[in-house]
Amino acid sequence: MKRTTFLLLATAWSAAVLAADVEVKEAWVRATVSGQQATGAFMTLVSKSGATVVGIASPVAGLAEVHEMRLEGGVMKMRPLPRLELEPGKPRVLGPGGYHVMLMDLKHPLAKGETIPLTLKLQARGGKAETLELKAEVRDLTASAGGHQHH
């Protein structure tokens, strides 16, 4: 019984990462080719009581930022966001074509199957600063928001 409980808890932990009340699900990074200097990282964030993403970092990139892609006048535009609000209980999807993380000035190409460390910098509802360390799997160049191409 104890072993089954341990295995269930270990499986649940690998599926989602928690910090305070922010949960991260299905974090992944798109693979790169030689010479490519930037790529995207994607995940779903849920905060029980609400929080704000105020920064992100990774040792594989010289610069990491939360970005928003938006269709304006028939043209897709991308811009960095200094803050990304997480509404209480509402999943915030960071995926291709919308909100996402840009990893720029990459230190080396990212290959499918690697695991990339990411640090989310969060501000809880009361203003308390927190960090959340997580690992994101590098998926194939053709991976999309569904994210199950790697199975």
Which CATH number characterizes residue 46's domain? 2.60.40.1890
Q: What is the pLDDT along the chain (151 residues), one digit of tens a residue?
A: 544 444 444 434 434 555 658 999 999 999 999 999 999 999 999 999 999 999 999 999 999 999 999 999 999 999 999 999 999 999 999 999 899 999 999 999 999 999 999 999 999 988 899 999 999 999 998 887 654 433 3
- 66, part of any domain: yes
Number of domains in the chain: 1
- 111, part of any domain: yes
- 43, part of any domain: yes
- 54, part of any domain: yes
Q: What are the Cα distances from residue 94, in Å, to 10, 12, 39, 110? A: 25, 21, 13, 19
Can you tell me the distance from the alpha carbon of 141 to that of 31, in angstroms, rounded to the nearest whole number?
5
Can you tell me the distance from the alpha carbon of 74 to that of 76, in angstroms, rounded to the nearest whole number?
7
The residue range of the domain holding 89 is 22-137
